[in-house]
Amino acid sequence: MTDIYYKLPRRHKQLLLALMIVMGILLLLPSENASASRSQTPSDSLKIATRYAAPIEFTAQPVKNSLLNPPVKSTQEAPVAAVKATEDDSSEEKLTWQQVKVKSGDNLALIFNRAGFSANTLHKITSLGDKTKILTKIMPGQIINFGANQQHQLIKLTYQENITTTLEITNLAGKFSAKKMTRELQIRERMVSAEITSNFWNAAIEHQLDPSTIMNLANIFEWDIDFGLDIRAGDQFSLIYETKYLDGMAVKTGNIVAAEFINRGQSYQAIRAANGEYYSATGRSMRKAFLRSPVNFKYISSSFNPRRLHPVTKRVRPHNGIDYAAKTGTPVRASGAGVVIAAGYTKYNGNYIFIKHGERYVTKYLHLSKKLVRKGNRVKQGQRIGKVGSTGRVTGAHLHYEFLVNGVHRNPRTVKLPKSRSIAKKDKSGFLKLANQRMEQLATNKRIMLAQQ
């Protein structure tokens, strides 16, 4: 640098020297107070040689190396809002649901395996107790719903046992629990009145009665009316029955609470009492000691006739019973409660069963394809005791039925049956009041139906 300076012309040297002197003077002169920004006021100005505190905000960053930055235990409790948010996030975990339909031959192990869950998970669930036993009775066509988290752990399982009851199994932190949720059905009453033009079944179907309600109506009056033989065009029936609703939709029918059947001009009335039994409007039980017919049959192939011509021997011999033609295998019921005094096989009777009812009555059932009771067995009224067949000397499948009173054969269709019992005295006054109300309802409904025709 010195060599360059001495090589400069004299005039240039003088100018350079003067410039250096001026810069030196400026550096030695005192300066004004510095300002941080144009917007600051004089009071906010900074002074030379004065130390000021500088507040600096730090943003915490996640530390990956725990060895260099060991965690520090804090004694300060987490804010309540933060804890609640964590709990809400856990409870609102989104689940992936799948439905598994039970196939023929399935068991729970196969179902859980098909859904992708382990045998250990199944064991935890089946160990919960009585609430989960219903799962072992699943039937083909039923559905089990599985809800899993992102790690494919089973969190929820639901199974609808019936219309109103659902089983729910929940996994909370690896521990399973089960509960049953039941919804109540709303019960409404429906009234129907109809006249029979062709047959009882068709008339009931035309008025939107389901098969179970039709059979229940026939069962109520089966002690008084033979629905295979006694029904005629012009007969009438009326009934009040329960319909059960769920979410405003009819899902099933309930009990018949009152009914009337007019057969050949004779009126039969039945009202359901608090004990679940049916009684006439005067309080006598609809359940008689004997059924009019012990089998559901197509027609009577031979009636009670003391001077009938035998179809096989062609000789005039008394026919001391009624032959009910029916398909082989059709169930045969005991017409009354009693004790089986004979059950065997002979050349003429085929498979037979004799039942004694008290001291006066005996019923006989012949030509069975199969016997379901033995000698000495006690049977209840309506109990299945055998099946229709064609064993013995017969020309086709049918049930030969006899009814004896004090050892004398009587026509089962016309014999006067023992009187039924009355409702208990303590319940009679309340029942008669209920019966009057129900009969008035039926009468009003019939008048409305007639007016609409």
pLDDT tens per residue, range 248-296:
888 889 999 999 999 999 999 999 999 999 999 999 999 888 888 888 7
Q: What is the mean pLDDT of residues 390-412?
A: 91
Cβ(387)–Cβ(237) under 8 Å? Answer: no
Q: Read off the pTM.
A: 0.58
- For residue 201, what are its two tokens? 């079944």
> What is the enclosing helix (H) or strand (E) of 172?
strand 165-172
Residue 241 has pLDDT above 90, yes or no: yes
Residues 113, 262: Cα–Cα separation, whole Å = 60
Under 8 Å CB-to-CB from 191, ≥6 apart: which residues?
238, 239, 240, 441, 442, 445
Structure-derived torsion over alpha carbons of residues 13, 15, 20, 25, reported in degrees to the nearest 10: 140
> What are the tens digits of pLDDT across the range 157-193?
999 988 889 999 999 988 999 999 988 889 999 999 9
Token pair for residue 349?
């009777």
C-alpha span between 397 and 332 (Å, rounded): 13
* Of 315 and 234, more confident: 234
Mean pLDDT, all residues of the chain: 81
pLDDT tier at 93, thresholds 50, 70, 90:
low
Which has the minimum average pLDDT: 200-204, 289-293, 363-367, 401-405? 289-293
Confidence of residue 51 (pLDDT cuts 50, 70, 90): low
pLDDT over 90 (residue 87):
no
Question: For residue 58, is it left (φ>0), alpha (ψ between -120 and 50) or beta?
Answer: beta
Residue 432 has pLDDT above 90, yes or no: yes
* Residues 139 and 102 sit within 8 Å (Cβ to Cβ): yes
Paired residues of 148 in beta bridges: 96, 154
The single-letter DSSP state of residue 135 is G
Rounded CA separation 192/239 (Å): 6
Can you tell me the mean pLDDT for 399-410?
93
Q: What's the pLDDT score for residue 414?
A: 83
How many CB atoms are located within 10 Å of the residue 351 CB? 20
In this structure, which amino acid lies at residue 14? Answer: Q
Q: Assign 421 a pLDDT band (cuts: 50, 70, 90).
A: confident
Domains and CATH numbers, the chain: 96-182 (3.10.450.350), 184-287+420-453 (3.10.450.350), 299-410 (2.70.70.10)
Give the residue from 317, 285, 302 showing the smallest Cα distance to 400: 302
Whether the per-residue pLDDT at 331 is higher than 90: the answer is: yes
Q: Confidence band (pLDDT; 50, 70, 90) for 79? A: very low
Residue type, 294: P
